[in-house]
Amino acid sequence: MKVDLAIRGGRVIDPATGLDREGTVLVSDKRILAIEAPDAAVEAERVIDARGLLVLPGLIDLHAHCFVGETRLGLPPDRIGVQQGVTTVVDAGSSGVDNLLRFRESVRGARTRVLAYINLARDGLARHRGELADPRMLAPDETVEALRAHGGFLVGVKARASASVVGDQGIAPVRLAKETAKRAGVPLMVHIGNAPPRLEEVLELLEAGDIVSHAFHGKKGGIYRDGTLLPEARAALERGVLFDVAHGQASFSYATCRRFLADGLVPHIISSDLWRGNETGPVVSLLHCMSKLLHLGMPLQEVVAATTWRPAVALHRQHEIGSLAPGRIADISIIRQVRGQFPLQDSEGVTEVVSCLLEPVMTIRHGHIVGDIGPGGISA
Protein backbone atom coordinates (compact mmCIF):
# COMPACT_ATOMS: atom_id res chain seq x y z
CA MET A 1 0.00 0.00 0.00
CA LYS A 2 1.30 3.43 -0.93
CA VAL A 3 0.75 6.17 1.65
CA ASP A 4 0.61 9.91 1.09
CA LEU A 5 3.35 10.87 3.53
CA ALA A 6 5.99 9.12 5.61
CA ILE A 7 7.85 11.04 8.32
CA ARG A 8 10.87 8.88 8.97
CA GLY A 9 13.23 8.48 11.89
CA GLY A 10 12.24 11.27 14.26
CA ARG A 11 11.63 11.03 17.98
CA VAL A 12 7.86 10.58 18.07
CA ILE A 13 6.21 11.80 21.27
CA ASP A 14 2.48 11.25 21.76
CA PRO A 15 1.42 11.81 25.38
CA ALA A 16 -2.09 10.53 24.65
CA THR A 17 -0.76 7.03 24.02
CA GLY A 18 2.44 7.21 26.07
CA LEU A 19 4.58 6.83 22.95
CA ASP A 20 8.12 8.23 23.07
CA ARG A 21 10.50 6.53 20.65
CA GLU A 22 12.03 6.85 17.22
CA GLY A 23 9.58 5.89 14.52
CA THR A 24 8.07 6.53 11.11
CA VAL A 25 4.69 8.27 11.05
CA LEU A 26 2.49 7.28 8.11
CA VAL A 27 -0.22 9.60 6.80
CA SER A 28 -2.94 8.58 4.39
CA ASP A 29 -6.13 10.38 3.36
CA LYS A 30 -5.36 13.30 5.72
CA ARG A 31 -5.25 11.08 8.82
CA ILE A 32 -2.66 9.19 10.84
CA LEU A 33 -2.46 5.66 9.47
CA ALA A 34 0.19 4.11 11.71
CA ILE A 35 3.52 4.60 13.45
CA GLU A 36 6.09 2.08 12.29
CA ALA A 37 9.74 1.39 13.07
CA PRO A 38 12.28 4.02 11.99
CA ASP A 39 13.62 1.77 9.23
CA ALA A 40 10.28 0.28 8.14
CA ALA A 41 9.96 -0.37 4.42
CA VAL A 42 7.20 1.93 3.20
CA GLU A 43 6.11 3.31 -0.14
CA ALA A 44 5.04 6.95 0.05
CA GLU A 45 4.29 9.86 -2.25
CA ARG A 46 6.64 11.93 -0.09
CA VAL A 47 9.16 10.94 2.54
CA ILE A 48 10.38 13.44 5.14
CA ASP A 49 13.67 12.75 6.88
CA ALA A 50 13.04 13.66 10.52
CA ARG A 51 16.16 12.10 12.04
CA GLY A 52 17.33 14.18 14.99
CA LEU A 53 14.00 16.02 15.18
CA LEU A 54 10.90 15.84 17.37
CA VAL A 55 7.72 14.64 15.68
CA LEU A 56 4.76 15.78 17.76
CA PRO A 57 0.99 15.96 17.50
CA GLY A 58 0.08 19.34 16.03
CA LEU A 59 0.69 21.98 18.70
CA ILE A 60 -2.37 23.74 20.13
CA ASP A 61 -2.13 27.31 21.44
CA LEU A 62 -5.13 27.54 23.75
CA HIS A 63 -4.84 31.28 24.37
CA ALA A 64 -3.97 33.82 21.69
CA HIS A 65 -5.58 36.78 19.92
CA CYS A 66 -6.13 36.68 16.16
CA PHE A 67 -9.03 39.06 15.45
CA VAL A 68 -7.18 41.42 13.13
CA GLY A 69 -8.62 44.84 12.40
CA GLU A 70 -11.45 45.27 14.85
CA THR A 71 -9.30 44.85 17.94
CA ARG A 72 -5.87 46.32 18.52
CA LEU A 73 -4.68 42.95 19.78
CA GLY A 74 -5.07 40.69 16.77
CA LEU A 75 -2.27 38.90 14.93
CA PRO A 76 -2.84 36.92 11.71
CA PRO A 77 -3.56 33.33 12.75
CA ASP A 78 -1.09 31.79 10.30
CA ARG A 79 1.72 34.04 11.55
CA ILE A 80 1.33 32.70 15.08
CA GLY A 81 0.05 29.32 13.90
CA VAL A 82 1.42 27.17 11.10
CA GLN A 83 4.39 29.49 10.51
CA GLN A 84 5.43 28.81 14.12
CA GLY A 85 4.78 25.07 14.16
CA VAL A 86 1.29 25.45 15.66
CA THR A 87 -1.66 23.77 13.94
CA THR A 88 -4.50 25.07 16.14
CA VAL A 89 -4.86 28.58 17.56
CA VAL A 90 -7.66 29.38 19.99
CA ASP A 91 -8.71 33.00 20.25
CA ALA A 92 -9.34 34.01 23.87
CA GLY A 93 -12.38 36.25 23.86
CA SER A 94 -11.49 38.84 21.23
CA SER A 95 -15.06 38.78 19.90
CA GLY A 96 -18.52 38.92 21.43
CA VAL A 97 -21.97 38.45 19.96
CA ASP A 98 -21.91 41.76 18.06
CA ASN A 99 -18.73 41.05 16.09
CA LEU A 100 -18.53 37.25 16.13
CA LEU A 101 -19.57 36.86 12.49
CA ARG A 102 -16.98 39.41 11.37
CA PHE A 103 -14.34 37.55 13.34
CA ARG A 104 -15.30 34.22 11.76
CA GLU A 105 -15.11 35.77 8.32
CA SER A 106 -11.69 37.29 9.06
CA VAL A 107 -10.14 33.87 9.77
CA ARG A 108 -12.01 31.88 7.13
CA GLY A 109 -9.00 31.61 4.80
CA ALA A 110 -6.48 30.65 7.49
CA ARG A 111 -4.49 27.46 7.06
CA THR A 112 -4.25 27.23 10.82
CA ARG A 113 -7.30 25.77 12.56
CA VAL A 114 -8.94 28.61 14.49
CA LEU A 115 -11.33 28.08 17.40
CA ALA A 116 -12.53 30.67 19.90
CA TYR A 117 -13.83 31.47 23.34
CA ILE A 118 -16.57 34.08 23.11
CA ASN A 119 -16.44 37.11 25.39
CA LEU A 120 -19.39 37.82 27.64
CA ALA A 121 -19.07 41.47 26.57
CA ARG A 122 -21.04 41.97 23.39
CA ASP A 123 -18.19 43.70 21.54
CA GLY A 124 -15.44 41.46 22.91
CA LEU A 125 -12.11 43.25 23.21
CA ALA A 126 -12.88 45.94 20.64
CA ARG A 127 -12.44 48.53 23.40
CA HIS A 128 -9.31 46.73 24.68
CA ARG A 129 -10.11 47.37 28.35
CA GLY A 130 -13.08 47.72 30.65
CA GLU A 131 -15.32 45.41 28.65
CA LEU A 132 -17.08 44.00 31.73
CA ALA A 133 -17.49 47.28 33.63
CA ASP A 134 -20.86 48.24 32.12
CA PRO A 135 -23.61 45.66 32.78
CA ARG A 136 -25.51 46.99 29.76
CA MET A 137 -22.72 45.68 27.50
CA LEU A 138 -22.98 42.11 28.77
CA ALA A 139 -25.01 39.66 26.69
CA PRO A 140 -25.58 36.39 28.55
CA ASP A 141 -28.69 35.23 26.66
CA GLU A 142 -27.30 36.05 23.22
CA THR A 143 -23.99 34.45 24.18
CA VAL A 144 -25.74 31.17 25.00
CA GLU A 145 -27.52 31.34 21.63
CA ALA A 146 -24.22 32.00 19.83
CA LEU A 147 -22.53 29.06 21.55
CA ARG A 148 -25.33 26.77 20.41
CA ALA A 149 -25.34 28.13 16.86
CA HIS A 150 -21.54 28.12 16.38
CA GLY A 151 -20.59 24.96 18.26
CA GLY A 152 -18.02 23.95 15.66
CA PHE A 153 -16.14 27.19 16.19
CA LEU A 154 -16.87 28.39 19.73
CA VAL A 155 -15.50 26.32 22.60
CA GLY A 156 -16.37 28.30 25.72
CA VAL A 157 -16.89 31.65 27.43
CA LYS A 158 -14.09 34.09 28.30
CA ALA A 159 -14.06 36.68 31.08
CA ARG A 160 -11.24 38.81 32.45
CA ALA A 161 -11.22 39.09 36.24
CA SER A 162 -9.07 42.20 36.68
CA ALA A 163 -9.76 45.58 38.23
CA SER A 164 -9.11 47.38 34.94
CA VAL A 165 -11.75 45.21 33.26
CA VAL A 166 -14.57 44.89 35.80
CA GLY A 167 -14.45 48.45 37.16
CA ASP A 168 -16.68 48.75 40.22
CA GLN A 169 -18.60 45.56 39.38
CA GLY A 170 -16.28 43.27 41.35
CA ILE A 171 -16.99 39.56 41.01
CA ALA A 172 -20.49 40.03 39.49
CA PRO A 173 -19.53 39.88 35.77
CA VAL A 174 -17.34 36.83 36.35
CA ARG A 175 -20.17 35.09 38.17
CA LEU A 176 -22.49 35.94 35.27
CA ALA A 177 -19.94 34.56 32.81
CA LYS A 178 -19.81 31.30 34.78
CA GLU A 179 -23.61 31.07 34.82
CA THR A 180 -23.67 31.70 31.07
CA ALA A 181 -21.08 29.02 30.37
CA LYS A 182 -22.95 26.56 32.56
CA ARG A 183 -26.22 27.22 30.73
CA ALA A 184 -24.50 26.50 27.43
CA GLY A 185 -22.68 23.44 28.75
CA VAL A 186 -19.21 24.82 27.99
CA PRO A 187 -16.17 25.73 30.12
CA LEU A 188 -15.27 29.19 31.36
CA MET A 189 -11.82 30.61 30.68
CA VAL A 190 -11.04 33.30 33.21
CA HIS A 191 -8.11 35.73 33.09
CA ILE A 192 -6.72 36.51 36.54
CA GLY A 193 -4.77 39.66 37.33
CA ASN A 194 -4.93 42.55 39.76
CA ALA A 195 -7.79 42.55 42.28
CA PRO A 196 -10.63 43.24 42.55
CA PRO A 197 -12.11 40.70 42.28
CA ARG A 198 -9.99 38.73 44.71
CA LEU A 199 -8.52 35.52 43.34
CA GLU A 200 -10.17 33.52 46.12
CA GLU A 201 -13.60 34.66 44.91
CA VAL A 202 -12.80 33.76 41.32
CA LEU A 203 -11.43 30.31 42.08
CA GLU A 204 -14.43 29.37 44.20
CA LEU A 205 -16.68 29.83 41.13
CA LEU A 206 -14.77 27.40 38.94
CA GLU A 207 -15.48 23.74 38.24
CA ALA A 208 -13.68 20.86 36.56
CA GLY A 209 -12.70 21.81 33.02
CA ASP A 210 -12.75 25.56 33.62
CA ILE A 211 -9.46 27.30 32.84
CA VAL A 212 -7.43 29.79 34.86
CA SER A 213 -5.41 31.90 32.43
CA HIS A 214 -2.18 33.58 33.62
CA ALA A 215 -2.03 31.25 36.61
CA PHE A 216 1.69 31.95 37.12
CA HIS A 217 1.83 35.74 37.02
CA GLY A 218 4.00 37.59 39.50
CA LYS A 219 1.52 40.25 40.58
CA LYS A 220 0.25 40.82 44.09
CA GLY A 221 -2.64 38.55 45.03
CA GLY A 222 -1.59 35.56 42.91
CA ILE A 223 -1.73 31.84 43.66
CA TYR A 224 1.07 32.07 46.28
CA ARG A 225 0.90 33.98 49.56
CA ASP A 226 4.05 34.13 51.68
CA GLY A 227 5.50 31.25 49.70
CA THR A 228 2.50 28.96 50.22
CA LEU A 229 -0.01 27.88 47.60
CA LEU A 230 -3.36 29.54 48.26
CA PRO A 231 -5.80 26.99 49.77
CA GLU A 232 -8.42 27.99 47.21
CA ALA A 233 -5.91 27.31 44.43
CA ARG A 234 -5.13 23.86 45.79
CA ALA A 235 -8.84 23.12 46.15
CA ALA A 236 -9.46 24.26 42.57
CA LEU A 237 -6.71 21.96 41.30
CA GLU A 238 -8.24 19.07 43.23
CA ARG A 239 -11.64 19.82 41.61
CA GLY A 240 -10.11 19.57 38.14
CA VAL A 241 -9.78 23.27 37.33
CA LEU A 242 -7.06 23.70 34.70
CA PHE A 243 -4.14 26.08 35.29
CA ASP A 244 -2.78 27.60 32.07
CA VAL A 245 0.49 29.50 31.64
CA ALA A 246 -0.96 32.01 29.10
CA HIS A 247 2.36 33.89 29.19
CA GLY A 248 1.38 37.28 27.80
CA GLN A 249 2.97 40.67 28.23
CA ALA A 250 2.52 40.85 31.99
CA SER A 251 1.42 37.43 33.18
CA PHE A 252 4.27 34.93 33.50
CA SER A 253 6.84 34.86 36.28
CA TYR A 254 9.76 32.45 36.33
CA ALA A 255 9.70 32.60 40.13
CA THR A 256 6.00 31.75 40.48
CA CYS A 257 6.16 28.87 38.02
CA ARG A 258 9.41 27.54 39.50
CA ARG A 259 7.78 27.45 42.93
CA PHE A 260 4.75 25.61 41.50
CA LEU A 261 7.02 22.98 39.94
CA ALA A 262 9.00 22.69 43.18
CA ASP A 263 5.72 21.86 44.92
CA GLY A 264 5.47 18.80 42.69
CA LEU A 265 2.82 20.34 40.44
CA VAL A 266 2.85 21.00 36.70
CA PRO A 267 0.88 23.47 34.60
CA HIS A 268 -1.95 21.67 32.82
CA ILE A 269 -1.60 23.83 29.72
CA ILE A 270 1.08 26.02 28.16
CA SER A 271 -0.27 28.77 25.93
CA SER A 272 1.17 32.02 24.66
CA ASP A 273 -1.39 34.84 24.95
CA LEU A 274 0.23 36.22 21.82
CA TRP A 275 -1.00 39.60 20.63
CA ARG A 276 0.49 42.56 18.78
CA GLY A 277 2.13 43.95 21.89
CA ASN A 278 4.26 40.92 22.79
CA GLU A 279 5.15 39.19 19.52
CA THR A 280 8.67 40.65 19.54
CA GLY A 281 9.07 39.91 23.25
CA PRO A 282 8.73 38.63 25.82
CA VAL A 283 6.42 35.98 24.30
CA VAL A 284 7.58 35.62 20.65
CA SER A 285 5.94 32.23 20.05
CA LEU A 286 4.37 29.22 21.71
CA LEU A 287 7.66 27.36 21.19
CA HIS A 288 9.51 30.05 23.14
CA CYS A 289 7.02 29.58 25.99
CA MET A 290 7.60 25.82 25.86
CA SER A 291 11.36 26.41 25.96
CA LYS A 292 10.99 28.43 29.17
CA LEU A 293 9.08 25.62 30.86
CA LEU A 294 11.74 23.11 29.79
CA HIS A 295 14.33 25.45 31.29
CA LEU A 296 12.44 25.45 34.60
CA GLY A 297 12.66 21.67 34.75
CA MET A 298 9.31 20.58 33.34
CA PRO A 299 9.96 17.27 31.53
CA LEU A 300 9.74 17.35 27.74
CA GLN A 301 6.90 14.82 27.74
CA GLU A 302 4.90 17.08 30.09
CA VAL A 303 5.63 20.16 27.98
CA VAL A 304 4.37 18.32 24.90
CA ALA A 305 1.27 17.09 26.76
CA ALA A 306 0.53 20.67 27.86
CA THR A 307 0.49 21.84 24.23
CA THR A 308 -1.19 18.85 22.56
CA TRP A 309 -3.26 16.30 24.42
CA ARG A 310 -4.38 18.33 27.45
CA PRO A 311 -5.58 21.36 25.46
CA ALA A 312 -7.33 18.98 23.04
CA VAL A 313 -9.20 17.48 26.00
CA ALA A 314 -9.99 20.98 27.34
CA LEU A 315 -11.49 21.78 23.92
CA HIS A 316 -13.40 18.47 23.80
CA ARG A 317 -11.61 17.78 20.51
CA GLN A 318 -9.42 14.90 21.72
CA HIS A 319 -11.03 12.44 19.31
CA GLU A 320 -9.75 14.50 16.36
CA ILE A 321 -6.61 16.40 17.39
CA GLY A 322 -3.90 16.37 20.06
CA SER A 323 -2.66 12.85 19.33
CA LEU A 324 -0.85 10.79 16.70
CA ALA A 325 -3.03 7.73 17.31
CA PRO A 326 -4.28 6.02 14.12
CA GLY A 327 -7.41 7.67 12.78
CA ARG A 328 -6.69 11.13 14.18
CA ILE A 329 -6.47 14.12 11.85
CA ALA A 330 -2.91 14.39 10.54
CA ASP A 331 -1.90 17.59 12.33
CA ILE A 332 1.83 17.21 12.99
CA SER A 333 4.54 19.56 14.25
CA ILE A 334 8.17 18.76 13.45
CA ILE A 335 10.43 20.59 15.87
CA ARG A 336 14.18 21.05 16.32
CA GLN A 337 15.90 21.27 19.71
CA VAL A 338 18.68 23.84 19.38
CA ARG A 339 21.40 23.71 22.04
CA GLY A 340 23.14 26.87 23.11
CA GLN A 341 22.80 29.88 25.40
CA PHE A 342 19.58 31.83 24.79
CA PRO A 343 18.53 34.72 27.06
CA LEU A 344 14.73 34.66 27.42
CA GLN A 345 12.74 37.13 29.49
CA ASP A 346 9.62 36.52 31.56
CA SER A 347 6.87 39.11 32.06
CA GLU A 348 8.55 40.53 35.16
CA GLY A 349 11.61 41.68 33.23
CA VAL A 350 13.71 38.79 34.55
CA THR A 351 16.05 37.25 31.97
CA GLU A 352 17.31 33.70 32.34
CA VAL A 353 19.63 31.83 30.00
CA VAL A 354 17.93 28.84 28.40
CA SER A 355 20.09 26.00 27.09
CA CYS A 356 17.53 24.44 24.74
CA LEU A 357 15.40 26.45 22.33
CA LEU A 358 12.60 24.76 20.40
CA GLU A 359 12.33 25.84 16.77
CA PRO A 360 9.79 24.93 14.06
CA VAL A 361 10.96 22.88 11.10
CA MET A 362 7.77 21.76 9.38
CA THR A 363 4.04 22.02 10.02
CA ILE A 364 1.56 19.50 8.64
CA ARG A 365 -2.08 20.47 8.86
CA HIS A 366 -4.80 17.98 7.94
CA GLY A 367 -2.28 15.90 6.04
CA HIS A 368 -0.83 18.78 4.01
CA ILE A 369 2.56 20.43 4.49
CA VAL A 370 1.63 24.05 5.16
CA GLY A 371 4.76 25.31 6.86
CA ASP A 372 8.25 24.33 5.72
CA ILE A 373 11.53 25.79 6.92
CA GLY A 374 13.49 27.71 4.31
CA PRO A 375 16.36 30.20 4.15
CA GLY A 376 14.14 32.95 5.53
CA GLY A 377 12.49 30.82 8.18
CA ILE A 378 9.30 28.83 8.14
CA SER A 379 6.80 29.90 5.51
CA ALA A 380 3.20 28.96 4.84
Does the annotation place 158 within a ligand binding site? yes
Does the annotation place 123 within a ligand binding site? no
Looking at the chain, the domain(s) classified CATH 2.30.40.10 span 2-56+326-379
Q: What pLDDT is stored for residue 373 in this prediction?
A: 59
Angle between helices 140-149 and 172-184 (to 10 degrees): 30
Does the annotation place 65 within a ligand binding site? yes
Looking at the chain, the domain(s) classified CATH 3.20.20.140 span 59-314
Q: What pLDDT is stored for residue 127 in this prediction?
A: 80
CATH superfamily of 2-56+326-379: Urease, subunit C, domain 1 (2.30.40.10)
Q: What pLDDT is stored for residue 101 in this prediction?
A: 98
What average pLDDT does range 375-380 have in this prediction? Answer: 45
Residue 65 CA, chain-centre distance (Å), reads 11
Q: Give residue-wise pLDDT tens across range 103-126.
A: 999 999 999 999 999 999 999 999
Within 8 A by CB and 6+ apart from 235, the residues are: 203
Q: What CATH code would you report for 59-314?
A: 3.20.20.140
Q: How far, CA to CA in Å, does 204 sit from each of 99, 143, 186, 214? A: 31, 23, 17, 17
Is residue 380 pLDDT above 60, yes or no? no
Q: What pLDDT is stored for residue 378 in this prediction?
A: 47
Q: How far, CA to CA in Å, does 355 sit from each of 85, 282, 352? A: 20, 17, 10
Split at pLDDT 50, 70, 90, the class of 372 is low
Is residue 230 pLDDT above 70, yes or no? yes
Does the annotation place 268 within a ligand binding site? no
Instruction: Report how far residue 140's alpha carbon sits from residue 119's, in angstroms, rounded to the nearest whole number.
Output: 10
What average pLDDT does range 185-213 have in this prediction? Answer: 98
Q: Give residue-wise pLDDT tens across range 38-52.
A: 999 999 999 999 999
Which pTM value belongs to this model?
Answer: 0.97
Does the annotation place 292 within a ligand binding site? no
Map 90-155 to HEC letters.
Answer: EEECCCCCCCHHHHHHHCCCCCCEEEEEEECECCCCCCCCCCCCCHHHECHHHHHHHHHHCCCCEE
Indicate the pairing of strand 113-119 with strand 154-161.
parallel
